[in-house]
Amino acid sequence: MQALITAAKDHPLALFPDFRRLFAGRVISAVGDKFFSIAIAWWVLSRAGGSSKLHLGLVMAMNILPVVVFGPLLGTISDRSDKRRVMMAADAARAALVLTLGLLLWGGALTLPWLYALCFAISGFGPLFESATAASLLRLTSPEKMPQAVAADSSVLQLSNVVGSALGSVLMAAAGVAGAFLFNAGGYLVSLAAVRSIRADLSPEERVESSFVAEFREGLAYTFGNRPVLALILAFAAFNFFVSPIMILIPMIVKFTLNESVTWLAVFETFFAAGSAALAAALSFRKESGNVYGWLFGSVLAVGLAFGGLYFTSDKYLVCALLFAAGAALGGGNAIAITLFQATVPDAMKGRFFSVLTTLAYAVMPLAFMADGLLAERFSVGFCLALNACAVTALSFVILALPRVEVRP
């Protein structure tokens, strides 16, 4: 017990108030994001008729396209700007757009084209906020606590997904889909207030004056000129192509394979998120990452095996267990990889690097969503699960052959 208390006192969330403020605001806004995603998925599957699977894939693609289109440019803006103001502006814009979406639904005026357009606009501010966050972690903590801080920050999405998934069906039953949208807008405003309370100086580092275009090119040159880093990023992209469709396959499993209500969608999402949160939180107490590539191999292999298990069962409780295992493997691998990048990339380059990383890793996701939506319409949800499981399992062995990234002293 004493060791646990000591570890808790030595955790970055206990040591650094500004990091704690950012973490709390991100958790609350991300809970709203989870309500939002559950509400969108169920609204589309319930309202889009016989092509609902395809439309769900298209809506999810609209949530990813802005990351691909605008990511590197927004990362350059982040590096050249005060990170605190950047995060606040992104939160304010997203709150206004989500509020507009909620009001349209409340008034009965929401259509699929409106949903596509507003989802695209809302997601456009995500890369701006995330690149500013990634570039701020070192200033809000310390070099010694960086691995733990990265793991804790990586757990934000998973922790909020646990809460958001568990309460999503309750909120929708009480306030409807529009209520979930309005809650999400409020979450962004809470995040804005938390970021505003940060006291650390997050202004851009002093640098030789250069143009926006020059700095943009510098960020691309760093990423594409570093062979081991680029190889790992491309592996991330391939992994995302076959793993990201679980975001649309889980609602399809509930709606069409099991013929269950939105309550089971919330249950499955909760177990998937709980697995990610559990391992990411555990890693936040580890001071050393160990064999990074061994971790990545094990995590990707575990995801592939868990997906394969989903193909062979329709038992709801076994599905919960498999989703928990897949989430844990995904959360652990992500935390380890991001820690490696935080220790490798120069601080002045981090905003641009992480935006390029996000862009390359996410670029495949719109195609993946649309492809799986079409395959599910043409064949079955089970076919998509089996295909993705085989591909992810094979990819785990590719990771062992990648050139190694060297950590800077």
Percent of the chain with pLDDT over 90: 4
- Only one residue has tokens 């991330």, namely 236
- Only one residue has tokens 């719109």, namely 366
Amino acid letter, residue 144: E
Of residues 83 and 386, more confidence is placed in 386
What are the φ/ψ torsions at residue 243 (nearest 5 degrees)? -100, -40
pLDDT in tens, 342-384: 777 776 666 667 767 777 777 777 778 878 888 888 888 889 8
| DSSP helix/strand/coil, 120 | helix
Amino acid letter, residue 104: L
Q: Where are the beta strands (DSSP E) in 186-325?
A: none
Q: Give the number of other Cβ atoms within 10 Å of residue 170's Cβ.
A: 11
What is the distance between the alpha carbons of residues 269 and 254, in angstroms, rounded to a whole number?
11
Phi-psi category of residue 353: left, alpha or beta, with phi > 0 → left and psi -120 to 50 → alpha: alpha
Q: Of 122, 184, 164, whose CA–CA distance to 34 is shortest?
A: 164
The pLDDT value recorded for residue 305 is 92
For residue 402, the 8-state DSSP code is S
- Structural domains for the chain: 9-399 (1.20.1250.20)
| pLDDT bracket for residue 208 (50, 70, 90) | very low
Structure tokens at 116: 């596509």
| pLDDT bracket for residue 387 (50, 70, 90) | very high
The distance from CA 310 to its chain's CA centroid, rounded to whole angstroms, is 22
Q: 71 vs 77, 118, 183, 390, 406, CA distance in Å? A: 10, 18, 26, 30, 25
pLDDT in tens, 296-352: 888 889 989 998 898 888 888 898 899 998 888 887 777 777 777 777 777 666 666
Structure tokens at 359: 């862009």
Q: With 60 as the cut, is the pLDDT of residue 212 above it?
A: no
pTM score: 0.63
Specify burial of residue 333 (Cβ count, 10 A radius: 0-12, 13-18, 19+).
buried
8 A C-beta contact, residue 407 and residue 344: yes
pLDDT in tens, 120-146: 888 878 777 877 777 777 777 877 776
Q: Give kind and range of the element (H or E) at residue 265.
A: helix 262-283
